[in-house]
Chains A and B, each alone.
Chain A
C-alpha cells in the first residue's frame, strides 16, 4: 500500500475503531464501482457485504479487516456466501490487514470453512487481476474521501459514506 493510503487507513482505524470494518467495506464497494462493476450492492447491516455484477463477473464479497495475521470467518459468513453462490454469485473474501506492507487480498471463498484464516493463506487463493483493481481503486477512493471523513468527522462516518454510496448509485438494501 502506498504510504499516503496506509497512513489514511491507519488514521481511520484509530479514529473509528468500531466502524472501521464497515468503513472499509463501503470504501471497497466504491472501489469496485470505480473498477467498472455496473451493479454494486453494499449491505451495511446484515448479509454478505457486497454483491458485484458487471463485465468483470458476478461476485459476492465478504469483507474482513484485521490488525493481526488472521481473519475470523464465522459460520454466518460461510453460509451467507453459500447462499449467494446458489444465486449465481462467485463467493469471494476480501481481507485487509492494517500494515504498511499489506494491501487488500481478494480470494476465492468457495472452499472456505468457519475458522481463523491467515491472510497469507488467502493469498494462495487470490484472484490477481480483480485484486489489483481493488487495491488500485481503493487507494484512489480512500485518498479522495479520507480527508473529508476525517476533517468533517461527523458522529458516524457511515452516514456521510452512505450519501457517497447513493451518489454512486450503489444500492444499500438496509
Chain B
C-alpha cells in the first residue's frame, strides 16, 4: 500500500484563520514562511486537528504545555472547519472536521469519493497512525526539541517517548502509579489495627482476671488439675452426693440439681447447690428443735416479765393504799369542818341582818330628829339618839364581816384538801383492783403456757423459772448436735466455694477463647477478604505497571534499534562533528543519558554539545524515526515546525541537506520564520517545492498568503 501525501488544505475559522482559504500542498516539499503570528503554525496544527480532533489540545495527551488552553475556534468565527485532501498512487482521501460554537459539529472521511464515514478510529486504522504516533512520526513540534535538550531526566524521557510515540503508554503508567495504593491499603491496615487494639485490650484484661482467679484458687489449695470442665464436674458430683445425703437426713425431698457434666450445667448447678445448702441449714431436726425451744423461751420470758411487772405494780398500789387508809380521821375532820363552815355562815348571816338594822337605824336617825331619851338597841341603855347613832356607826365600822369571811375561806380550803385526799384514796383503791386483775390474768396465761392450773398459792415466777431452766438445759444439749451439723455443711460450702472459683477460671478462659473466635466471624472474614482483594488489586496494578514499564522500554529499545544507525548518520550529517560523530541513547541508564561517541570515547551529550548540536540531536532522532520505512504508517508526510531554531547557518545548511535526503521518501511540510533556512532549504531540496508566504495577519480577516 502506498502512502498518502497531502494535496490541499481547505480551512476556515480555525485558530488564526477567519475566512476560507484553500491551500494547495501538492508538491514533494511545501515551505511555509512567515514571522510570528502570521498563521503558518495554525495551518500546520490544522492538519493534526483535522485528523485527531480535540485530543490534540489536551495537555495530558501530549504533554505539550504550549497547547494549554488552546483555542481551536477562531474568536471572530461562529464556526469553522478544516478539510484535508490526500492522495496516494491509487487512492484519494478527504478528511473533514468542523467546529461550532453551538450545535453538533460534523466529522467525516471519504475514500475515493465513496461514502462519508464518521468513525474516527476507522480513519486512524486506514492511515495506521495514532495521535501519539503522529507526533513522533509525522509532526516535529518545536517544544519536543526544547524538552529533549533539557537536562532533567523526566522532561528528557517525556520528549524521547513523544519522539518514539510512547506517550500514551507512559500516560497509562502514570495513571496507574498515581492510584494512591499506599493510602488505599493503609485504610485497611488502620481498620484492622483498630480491631486488633481493642481485642488486645480485652485480651489483656481477661488475662489479668484469669491470672488473679488462678492465683486465688491456688491460694485456696485447689489443685491446678481441676481447673477445667472435668475438674468442675468432679466437684459438682461431690457436692451433689453430700446434698442428697443431707436431704435424706433432714427428711426433706432430694434436691433437683442440674446436669453438671458440661460447663453450662455447672453454672446453673452452683446457685442451686448454694440455695439447697442454705435450706438444709434450717431443716435439720436439731435446728428445728432449737428453734421451738427458743420460741418457747421467748414466750415464757415475756409472760414472766409481764407477770413480774403487774405484781410489782400491785404491790406498790397496795402500799400506797395502806398508807392512805392509815389516815382514818379524814371523814370526821371533813364533817367537823363542814359544821364549822355552817356556823360561820350563820354568823355571817346574823351579822348581816344586824348591820341591816343598824343601817336602817342610822338612816332613820339621819332622817328624823329624835329628841329625848331612847333605849340603845345595841347596848340596851337609855340614851340619846345621838348616842345610838354613834354606837351604830361604831358597830358598823368594826371588821366583823372580814373576819367571818376569812374564816369561811379557810374552812372551805380545808374541806377541799380533805376531799382531795379522799378522792386519792378512791383512785388508789381502783388501781389496786386493776393490777390485781392483771396479775391474776398473767398468772392464768402462765398457767396456760405451762399447761397447768395455778392456784393462788403457786408462785408463777418460780414455776416459770424452773421451766426456763429446763429449756436452757435442752438447748445446751442440742447445740452440740447443731455445731456438728454446721461443720458438715461447711465442708460442702467449701466445695461450693471451690466450684465457684473454678467456674470463674473457666469463664475467663472461655472469654479468652471467644476473643479468638472474632477472627472466625463472617464480619471479620468479609473484612479480611476485602483486605486481601485490595492487596491483590494493588499487586495487580503493580504488576501491570511493571509490565507496561517493561513494554515501553522494550518498544523504545525496538524503535531505537531500528533507526539506531540512521540517528547517528543524520547526527553526523547535521553536526559534522569530527570528534564525536555518533549519537546514542543509553536505554539501560536510568537517566536515559544521550551520549555522543566515537570509536574509543563516549561522553554525555548534554555535557559536551552546545545548544545547536543538542537541537540537532533531537532532530536526528525525529528525522530518523519519521523517515524510517520500518515503522509503517500510511502518511507519507513529515511536518517540521521551525526545525532550524537555535541552529547557525552552517547547521541549517546541513539540515537542509538532510531534509533533501528525507524528501526522497517523504513529502515535507516545513514551517519556519527563518528566511535564511527557507532559502537554504529551497536550494538544497532537489524535489519540486511550493513556497507559501504568510505575509501578514489580521484578526478580522486572518492570514494573507502568497504562493510561489
User: Contact residues of A with B, CB < 8 Å?
Assistant: 1-4, 6-7, 69, 99-102, 118, 120-121, 123-124
Tell me the minimal C-beta distance from B509 to chain A in angstroms.
9
Q: Are A124 and B536 in contact (CB under 8 A)?
A: yes
Residues in B with CB closer than 8 Å to A102 are: 196
Q: How far is the CA of A101 from the CA of B198 in the complex (A)?
A: 11
Q: Does B189 contact A (CB under 8 A)?
A: yes
Q: Are A101 and B512 in contact (CB under 8 A)?
A: no
Q: How far is the CA of A100 from the CA of B518 in the complex (A)?
A: 11
Grouping DSSP codes into helix (H, G, I), strand (E, B) and loop, the B interface class, with mixed when no group exceeds half, is helix
Tell me the minimal C-beta distance from B240 to chain A in angstroms.
32
Q: Are A3 and B203 in contact (CB under 8 A)?
A: yes
Q: How far is the CA of A101 from the CA of B199 in the complex (A)?
A: 9
Q: Does B516 contact A (CB under 8 A)?
A: yes
Known: A4-B512, A123-B532, A124-B536. A101 touches B192 (CB 8 A): yes
Known: A7-B207, A101-B519. A121 touches B512 (CB 8 A): no
Q: Does B513 contact A (CB under 8 A)?
A: yes
Q: List 23 A-B contacts (CB under 8 A).
A: A3-B203, A3-B207, A3-B512, A6-B203, A7-B207, A99-B196, A99-B200, A100-B196, A100-B203, A100-B515, A101-B192, A102-B196, A118-B185, A118-B535, A120-B185, A120-B535, A121-B535, A121-B538, A123-B535, A124-B532, A124-B535, A124-B536, A124-B539
What band does the interface of chain B fall in when counting residues whose beta carbon is under 8 Å from A?
A: 20 to 34
Tell me the minimal C-beta distance from B316 to chain A in angstroms.
82
Residues in A with CB closer than 8 Å to B207 are: 3, 7
Q: How far is the CA of A1 from the CA of B516 in the complex (A)?
A: 7
Tell me the minimal C-beta distance from B269 to chain A in angstroms.
27
Q: How far is the CA of A7 from the CA of B199 in the complex (A)?
A: 12
Residues in A with CB closer than 8 Å to B345 are: none
Tell me the minimal C-beta distance from A119 to chain B in angstroms.
10
Q: How far is the CA of A1 from the CA of B518 in the complex (A)?
A: 11
Q: How far is the CA of A141 from the CA of B149 in the complex (A)?
A: 65
Q: Are A100 and B535 in contact (CB under 8 A)?
A: no
Q: Other CB < 8 Å A-B pairs besides A99-B200, A101-B519, 7 of them? A: A3-B206, A100-B199, A100-B515, A101-B199, A121-B539, A124-B535, A124-B539
What does the 1/0 interface line of B533-545 toward A look like (CB < 8 Å)?
0011011000000
Residue of A nearest to B527 (CB): A101
Q: How far is the CA of A121 from the CA of B519 in the complex (A)?
A: 19
- The 3 closest A-B CB pairs, nearest first, are A3-B512, A120-B535, A101-B196
Q: Does B111 contact A (CB under 8 A)?
A: no
Q: Are B185 and A2 in contact (CB under 8 A)?
A: no
B190-210 CB contacts (< 8 Å) to partner A: 192, 195-196, 199-200, 203, 206-207
Q: Does B425 contact A (CB under 8 A)?
A: no
Tell me the minimal C-beta distance from B527 to chain A in angstroms.
10
Q: How far is the CA of A102 from the CA of B189 in the complex (A)?
A: 12
Q: Looking at the complex, which one of B185, B195, B535, B536 makes contact with A101 (CB distance below 8 Å)?
A: B195
Residues in B with CB closer than 8 Å to A100 are: 196, 199-200, 203, 515
Q: Are A69 and B189 in contact (CB under 8 A)?
A: yes
Residues in B with CB closer than 8 Å to A69 are: 189
Residues in B with CB closer than 8 Å to A124 are: 532, 535-536, 539
Residues in A with CB closer than 8 Å to B531 are: 120
Residues in B with CB closer than 8 Å to A1 are: 516
Tell me the minimal C-beta distance from B593 to chain A in angstroms.
24
Q: How far is the CA of A170 from the CA of B192 in the complex (A)?
A: 37
Residues in A with CB closer than 8 Å to B188 are: 120
Q: How far is the CA of A124 from the CA of B192 in the complex (A)?
A: 18
Q: How far is the CA of A4 from the CA of B206 in the complex (A)?
A: 11
Residues in B with CB closer than 8 Å to A121 are: 535, 538-539
Residues in A with CB closer than 8 Å to B532 are: 120, 123-124
Residue of B nearest to A123 (CB): B532
Q: How far is the CA of A101 from the CA of B185 in the complex (A)?
A: 17
Residues in B with CB closer than 8 Å to A99 are: 196, 200
Residues in A with CB closer than 8 Å to B203 are: 3, 6-7, 100
Q: How far is the CA of A99 from the CA of B203 in the complex (A)?
A: 12
Q: How far is the CA of A123 from the CA of B539 in the complex (A)?
A: 11
Q: How far is the CA of A4 from the CA of B195 in the complex (A)?
A: 18
Tell me the minimal C-beta distance from A115 to chain B in angstroms.
11
Residue of B nearest to A6 (CB): B203
Tell me the minimal C-beta distance from B518 to chain A in angstroms.
8
Residue of A nearest to B198 (CB): A100
Q: Are A3 and B513 in contact (CB under 8 A)?
A: yes
Tell me the minimal C-beta distance from A75 to chain B in angstroms.
18
Tell me the minimal C-beta distance from B9 to chain A in angstroms.
53
B162-206 CB contacts (< 8 Å) to partner A: 185, 188-189, 192, 195-196, 199-200, 203, 206
